[in-house]
């Protein structure tokens, strides 16, 4: 019987048949079990028996982040709650958090996907793998842990810790593989440089970067700083997880796990599918997900599909992903946020008009954060500095708790904004 890893090398004819079979049953299940999809298909007069090839998927409606929010929390689940064994919640980018559910089968699939992505970076049972991600990506931390355990690697699971402690673990525990975001890796590299830490004391040989795209300059910086090979993974922080696409040793784009996901590139303006090789917005359809299927989900990520053969021999198509967005989401250390979320939160707490504040992405010691300028009005103003500081702290803490990324508030005179 075909094992999971034979899939990566299947010929295009076999792959096409497998994807079509899985797409058709995904659509049939979604139609039967999820009123949201059924109503949309019915309204548009879509007959699912007409989906006779992968290209026909373009006749189906696109799914947005807003649809997930509108169906909060469980209305997009395709199985009864009793079948769900894990519920993930991520801050989301709309009014409601994003809730995704997993059946036992879904978890097994994710484990296979992650194990495949890690194995492609050369991770084996002899490795010690350390996971350090931002709190907003802790769901991914769990997925990486299960994937690495599947390969029988030793795992140091994701735990929030200071940079000193991270480095101590990295050195003392003889970590050979580090899974982190490019921002965190750069921050760590900066710390190592400033504190003149002997890099040769580390056993690190592989750096797996996820959450954000890494450009060539950053890659070279990191390779030099850590004396380690750098690999990129692509995932969705909201749904359903990391390593949807992974880099192989050719390092020429990221292979999409096409036995589990069907990628398309659309024109973000018109929603039309673009020919291969043209940059546009990445749209994903899940092919094996049982609990929380996505049908033509707009990721907002800018990418290009490469369908030509890869030197590694894998037949999965690749995406060229540089981190650009087709929407106004901001990616901070792998966590995506929408300005509106921050605006809404500030508005609720300070009763300010939603368009009053201004936003900046800043870096301190290579650590990215969002700085928000808030205009001071009579309600906020106090002649006690202490009161103002308390107010700022309260808003900052609230944002960190709700969105999972650091936000710095600056109170400004109205006319300077």
Q: In the complex, which residues of this chain contact another protein (CB under 8 A)?
A: 1-2, 17-18, 20-22, 24-25, 28-29, 32, 48-52, 79-80, 82-83, 103-105, 290
Q: Measuring CA to CA, how many Å separate 79 from each of 70, 75, 102? A: 18, 10, 9
**Minimum distance, C-beta of residue 2 to another protein, in the bound complex (Å):** 8
Strand ranges in 267-327 using DSSP code E only, listed in sequence order: 280-286, 297-306, 318-325
Q: Which is nearer to another protein, 27 or 214 (CB)?
A: 27
Alpha-carbon torsion (331, 332, 335, 340), positive or negative: negative
CA distance 177 to 180: 10
The least distance separating another protein from the CB of residue 144, rounded to whole angstroms, comes to 23
Between 83 and 396, whose beta carbon lies closer to another protein? 83
Shortest separation between residue 33's beta carbon and another protein, angstroms: 9
CB of 28 to another protein, least distance (A): 4
> 17 or 39: whose CB is closer to another protein?
17
> Is 317 strand, coil or helix?
coil
Please answer whether residues 232 and 209 qualify as being in contact, where contact means their C-beta atoms are separated by less than 8 angstroms: yes
Per-position DSSP letters for 12-59, written without gaps between them = HHHHHHHHHHHHHHHHHHHHHH-HHHHHHHHHTT--GGG--SGGGGGG
Sequence-distant (6+) residues with CB within 8 A of 36 are 67, 71, 75, 76
**For residues 1 and 125, which CB has a smaller minimum distance to another protein in the complex?**
1
Closest contact distance (angstroms) between CB of 29 and another protein is 5
* Minimum distance from residue 20 beta carbon to another protein (Å): 5
CA-nearest of 38, 11, 75, 133 to 292 is 75
β-sheet bridge partners, residue 325: 301
* Residue 205: CB minimum distance to another protein, A: 35
In the complex with another protein, which residue's Cβ is closer, 18 or 274? 18
Nearer to another protein, 41 or 231 (CB): 41
Closer to another protein by CB, 30 or 213: give it: 30
Beginning with the edge strand found earlier in the chain, give each strand of the sheet holding 154-156 in spatial order.
154-156, 128-131, 177-180, 206-209, 229-234, 245-247, 254-256, 318-325, 297-306, 280-286, 261-266
């Amino acid at each position: 019987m075909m094992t999971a890893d034979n899939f990566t090398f299947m010929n295009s004819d076999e792959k096409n048949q497998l994807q079509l079979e899985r797409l058709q049953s995904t659509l049939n299940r979604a139609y039967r079990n999820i009123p949201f999809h059924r109503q949309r298909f019915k309204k548009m007069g879509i007959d699912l028996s007409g989906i006779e090839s992968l290209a026909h998927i373009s006749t189906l409606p696109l799914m947005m982040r807003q649809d997930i929010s509108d169906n909060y929390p469980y209305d997009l689940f395709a199985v009864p709650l009793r079948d769900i064994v894990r519920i993930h919640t991520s801050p989301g980018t709309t009014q409601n958090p994003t809730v995704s559910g997993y059946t036992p089968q879904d978890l097994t699939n994710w484990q296979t996907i992650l194990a495949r992505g890690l194995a492609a970076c050369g991770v084996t049972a002899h490795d010690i793998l350390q996971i350090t991600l931002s709190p907003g990506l802790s769901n991914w931390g769990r997925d990486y842990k299960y994937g690495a355990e599947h390969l029988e690697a030793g795992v140091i699971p994701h735990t929030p810790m200071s940079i000193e402690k991270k480095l101590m673990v990295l050195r003392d525990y003889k970590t050979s593989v580090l899974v982190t975001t490019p921002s965190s890796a750069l921050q760590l590299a900066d710390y190592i440089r400033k504190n003149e830490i002997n890099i040769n004391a580390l056993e690190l040989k592989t750096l797996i970067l996820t959450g954000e795209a890494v450009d060539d300059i950053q890659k070279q910086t990191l390779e030099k700083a850590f004396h380690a090979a750098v690999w990129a993974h692509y995932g969705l922080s909201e749904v359903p997880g990391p390593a949807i696409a992974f880099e192989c040793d050719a390092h020429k784009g990221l292979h999409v796990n096409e036995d589990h996901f069907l990628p398309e590139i659309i024109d973000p303006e018109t929603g039309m599918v673009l020919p291969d090789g043209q940059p546009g917005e990445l749209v994903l359809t899940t092919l094996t997900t049982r609990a929380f299927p996505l049908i033509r989900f707009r990721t907002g990520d800018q990418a290009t599909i490469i369908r030509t053969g890869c030197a590694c021999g894998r037949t999965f198509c690749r995406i060229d992903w540089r981190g650009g967005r087709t929407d106004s989401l901001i990616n901070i250390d792998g966590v995506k946020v929408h300005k509106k979320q921050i605006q809404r939160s500030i508005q609720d707490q300070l009763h300010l008009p939603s368009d009053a504040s201004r936003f900046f992405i800043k870096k301190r010691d290579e650590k990215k954060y969002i700085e928000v300028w808030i205009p001071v009005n009579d309600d906020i103003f106090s002649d006690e500095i202490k009161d103002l500081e308390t107010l700022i702290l309260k808003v900052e803490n609230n944002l960190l708790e709700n969105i999972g990324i650091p936000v710095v508030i600056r109170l400004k005179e109205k006319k300077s904004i």
